[in-house]
Structure formats: C-alpha cells, structure tokens
A and B are shown apart, each in its own frame.
Chain A
Amino acid sequence: MRKIIAMISAACAAFALNMTSVLPSQAKEPLKVGFVYVGPISDHGWSYQHDQARIEVEKYFGDKIKTSFIESVSKSSDAERAIERLARSGYELIFATSFSHMNPTIKVARKFPRVKFETATGYKLTKNVAPYGGRFYEGRFVIGQLAAKVSKTGVAGYIAPFAIPEVIRGMNAFVLGARTVNPDFQIKPVWVNSWYDPGREADAAKALIDQGVDIMVQHTDSPAPLQVAQERGIKGFGQASDMSRFAPDAQITAIVDYWGAYYKRRIQAVLDGNWKAENTWGGFNQDMVHMAPVKNVNAELVALAKDTQKKISDGKIVIFKGPLKRQDGTVFLKDGEVATDKQLLEMNFFLEGMKAPLPN
C-alpha cells in the first residue's frame, strides 16, 4: 500500500508542475518564444495579464513566431527545470515572468549563451538576461488624484499585502497624487499579509468601511475588496486587471499591467537581429502601464485622469521630485532633486505627513 501511495504522490507531483507539451521544431523555423508563469493563467491577475500579452503577440506576428507557456511554476527548483526545458527544445527567447524566476534564469542562461532570456521584476543583468518591469506607481499617482477628488472624508482605505518597496512606493505615489488635490489627504493602510486571499481582503475592506473611509484602494490581487465597496456603496480602484465586472458601480478605474507592447518590441528586436540585454523599467511612456476606462465619476475627473496620465508620460509631472522628506522628518530629496531608480527600488519608508505607521 505504501508503495502505491508513494507512486501516486510522485505522479501528483509531476502533474502539479503542469508542463504543457513542447512541440518539436518545424521545418519552416518560426521564432520560438517561451513564457514561464508563476501562477495559473486563470488567476485573473498577474499571470493572466502576461498570458493575454502572449496571445496578443501571437496574433500580431502570425506565423513568424510560435509561442508556448508553462504555468504555475512557483518553486525555484521547478523554474530551473521548466526554463531549461524550453531552452533545450529550441526556444530562442524566453520570458520568465516572476521575481522568483530570476536566479534560476541566470543559472540556465549560463548554459545556453545563444538563447535570450528576460525576467520580469528582476534586477540582474547579464549578457543574455534582460530584466524588465512596469512603473505601476505612475498609475497610483493618477488614482490618488481621483481618490482625493471623490473622497469627502479625505481618508482612503488601503489594502496592502506586504511592506516591500514595490508596495510602499505605490502608497507614497498615491499620497503624492492625492495631495495635489487635498494637501491633508491620508491613507488608512491594512496589511493582510497575502497577495491573494479573497476572504481576508474582504474582511479588511469591511473593517475600513466600518471605520469611515469612503474610497478603497488595494494592492492585493482579488476583486473581493471592490465587491465589498460595491455592496456598501462606496468607490474604489482595481488592481492588475480591469475588475469592473465585479463592481460595475464602484470601480472608478484600475491600474492594468500591460505587457503586450513590450513583448512586441522585444520579439521584433530578435526578429531584426538587434536584441540587446538591457534593463527596462517602463511606465506610461513605454506603454507598459494602462488605466482601465474611467467610469462612475463626472466628465471633469475623466479628463483629469487622462491629462495627468499624459503629463506623466511626457515627463511634465515627475512623481518623486524634491523637496520630499521621510516620515521621520529626515530629507529624502532636496529641492528639485529627482529620485534615481535605485532610490525608488529600495524605498522602504513613508513620506512626511503620513500618519499611518509602517510595520516593522
């Protein structure tokens, strides 16, 4: 019996890796592009958006390329195998779409110097590994402005997953946006310690609304907080993908991860033979962050959102520009000084004037 159980569990483990079949190369030799996802494509968030982009480029390039993907690769040991398998079977360009795929990619890339690798939200740059990411905080500046316009209380509920730079940077950008409208604007953050737990996110949203916030922002991935906002009659913003179906009257807009344009550029570069490993961190200006259609507010705000987005894209608005102080009063940026990417990537503090404490 024990043996059977062992066999079954081994089979389960193999199945759990969810390898999609990788077809042998064809005679006509289209460019083979592989994608590795950290979650299932049905997560309606991070991996879903990457897969939407994959479908888009496949349509765009037609028979010039051939794509395939491996989903739910969350452990780094699995990632190394998955990436190596793609590299071995003739894939020339491989997108590994999670931070946790970075180190496995670097390892595999050493063995396959001719294959081109890209890692989303990574930071290590080598001869054939290019890290890329989106400046999603630009979108948070836009929703900050909208939130301050819509809110009567001047306080936004903010459902946050973990106190890491990506999240903290977003909160700071949101507050800076809100302060262009209302200099006293505050956020009430609730840390749910999870990127994705619909139940806890909903509980956090209810707690915030019970305490009187009248606008809801989230950096977690499920539509549950927006559903609660819809039920309780307040407004909010979606995360990662357009969530308006879950909250038709509540969602003002959503920050949408958009990878299609970037993937098109990079695949084109490989086809043209001028692909180069470089670090890309693009925002509105490189068409890597989208805003879902602005709804449920008046025309003035719709125009404001569009205008702010354009100004950020053109560089007329620089979000993190001095004078800015940290929450403890020390100087972060001197007058006129602009934050470097390194400073942004390491941001682990709230800005001056924010009342909420930062955990740890």
Chain B
Amino acid sequence: MTWLEPILLTIVTASTPLLLAALGELICERAGVLNLGVEGMMIIGAVCGFAVAHTTGSMSLGVIAAVVCSMIMSLLFGFLTLHLLCNQVATGLALTILGLGLSGLIGESFIGEPGHKLPQLELPFLSELPYVGRLLFAQDALVYISILGVILVSFVLFRTRLGLIIRATGDNHRSAHALGYSVRKVRYGAVLFGGACSGLAGAYLSLAYTPQWTEGMTAGRGWIALALVVFASWRPLRLLLGAYLFGAVSVLQFHAQAYGIALPSQLMSSLPYIVTIFVLVIISGNKQLTKINTPACLGKPFRPDR
C-alpha cells in the first residue's frame, strides 16, 4: 500500500486538468455547442492564473483570474457562434490558435519565474485515516472542485429542470425555442461554464501540476479533454472514469518504463485518441446508443426567427 499511494497521487494530478476541462465541454456540448477552443481557453487560464498569482502573491486571486480570463475567451466564442452564427468548428480552432499566441504574449515576462504551488487542504481527522486518508482528503482545492463538479453537473443535468432545458436545447433547439426557452441564453450560459472550467484546468496546470509558466504548457491536454467527452458519451460519471483512466495510462506507462518493462511509448502516448476512436466506432455502430447519447443539434447554428 505504501508504494501504491504515491502512484495514485500522481494519477490524481495527471487526471484533474483533463477532468476539469472536459466537464465544461460536456455541458457545452449537451447544450448543442461544439467548442474546439478548449486548448486555447485552457492556456489563457494557465497564463493569467500564473501572472496574477505571481504578481499579487495570492493563489486564490490567481485562480479567479484564470476563470475570468477563460470566460472572456469563451464569451468571444459565444458572440461569434451564437450571435453572428459563425461556423463553430472554424471558430473553435481559431480560438485555440488565438489562445496559444496570446498566452505567449501575456506570459513573456513570466518566463523563467518559479511559481508557488497551490496549498493542500487537509481535512481534519479524515486526512489521517489509514490508507485512503491522504489520497482522498489531503488534496488541493481544485481536485475537490473537480470531483464535486462531476457530482453537481450530473445532478443538475439529469435531476433538475435546468438540466432538462440544457439537454432539450442540445437535442432539439427548434422545440426548445417553441416552448419558450431562449436557446441563445442557455447556450451562452453553457459556453461560459465551459470557459470557466477550462480556466480552472489551466490554473491547475500553472499553479499546481507544474508551478511555472512556459509557452504551450497545455501540450494538447485540451484536445484530450475534447476526446474524453466523446469517450464518456456525454455522461459526467463516465467522464470521471475516463479522465482517471487516461491519467492512469499516462502515469503508469512511465512506471512501467522505469521498472524496465519495454513498452512502445509512442503507442502509449496515442492511446487516449485510439480509445476515443474505438468508443466512437462502438457508439455509431449502434443506432439506439447514438440516439440516446449524442446531442442531436451538436454544432448546428440556431437563428431565432420569431
């Protein structure tokens, strides 16, 4: 058990940014908006979080800044796709390119500056439990937020009226509109939520995972998050499972290598994507499954004409 604990702790840190970003994208896609700009929003979150935390010395201000800046990015996306009805795929890609470039500009003066790490919040008594104590109850705030977020999103999505409205908007925006719901408002909300989550994921990278700012530090994690949403077939609990699975694969392959087991590391690096393709094949092979899970209006623009 003692050797297992550090491995599991590493898996938690590797999985949390994926989970946070994917959670936001899940709500976004459930409402019918495909935002491919996760990577761009995430890196803006990372740089703004680091910049503010480094300048003010306050970690909480850093996290808040990360969330706000990523939300501004997502607002831009929302305006372009929901108001001007731009193509969502193209706009999302542009958002990623913009984010990567802009973050380099913002972060220029912070290169080579060592950062501080988010403190671990140890819950009294619980963190002293044998075996699981430190693992479950001595993490930093963002890890707790990511787990609670999954539960909250799952509850809201399937147990509340708001969740029903979000799903209706994503499944059939004409009907939702006819029923009197503002498709645009719901989607703005979902897009902003997606931005906020990406911001948290970015903040986790630059303030907890590797406390530093370096250009391109997201290194494709936004894309893995996007793949995860499909992998989870748009269900939050499966998302939790998937994020930890992807995190575990990437960490365990290093352990295997260090242990002397020769694994083709290139294959391991591409595993999340291969698994996603595999899941896609399974989903689309079964019409029933496709109907139940995929938001039917995903990526389709909506123009309220009345």
Contacts and interface: CB of A to CB of B under 8 A. Distances in A.
Contact of A210 (B3, B214, B257, B265): B3
B210 to A, nearest CB: 4
Contacts of A199: 14, 17, 205, 209-210, 217, 219, 221
B125 interface: no
B104 interface: yes
A42 B47 CA distance: 14
Contacts of A193: 265-266, 269
Interface string A154-178: 0001000000000000000000000
A196 B104 contact: no
Interface string A24-60: 0000000000000000101110000000000000000
B219 to A, nearest CB: 4
Most interface-central of A15, A199, A223, A245 (chain B CB within 10 A): A199
Interface of B is mostly: helix
A357 B255 CA distance: 14
| Interface size grouping (class) on chain B | 35 or more
Most interface-central of B13, B104, B210 (chain A CB within 10 A): B210
Interface in A226-251: 227, 231, 245-246
Given A191-B265, A199-B205, A1 B86 contact: yes
Contact of B87 (A5, A12, A197, A356): A5
A201 B209 CA distance: 11
Contacts of B113: 245
Interface in A1-25: 1-2, 5, 8-9, 12, 15-16
Contact of B210 (A1, A202, A210, A355): A202
Nearest to B220: A197
A211 B3 CA distance: 8
B112 A203 contact: no
A301 interface: no
A42 B215 contact: yes
A236 to B, nearest CB: 15
A208 B255 CA distance: 7
| Interface size grouping (class) on chain A | 35 or more
Contacts of B94: 5, 8-9, 12
Contact of B212 (A15, A191, A223): A223
A357 B262 CA distance: 7
Interface in B60-105: 84-87, 90-91, 94, 97-98, 101, 104
Contact of B214 (A15, A44, A194, A360): A44
Nearest to B108: A42
Interface string B205-230: 10001111011110101000000000
Given A40-B215, A42-B111, A245-B113, 19 more contacts: A5-B94, A43-B214, A44-B214, A157-B258, A188-B258, A188-B260, A191-B257, A192-B254, A192-B265, A196-B214, A199-B217, A201-B210, A203-B10, A203-B13, A207-B254, A211-B259, A356-B260, A357-B262, A359-B264
Interface of A: 1-2, 5, 8-9, 12, 15-16, 40, 42-44, 157, 188-194, 196-204, 206-208, 210-211, 213, 222-224, 227, 231, 245-246, 355-357, 359-360
Most interface-central of B3, B254, B262, B266 (chain A CB within 10 A): B254
A231 B250 CA distance: 21
7 contacts: A1-B86, A42-B107, A193-B269, A194-B219, A201-B210, A207-B255, A359-B265
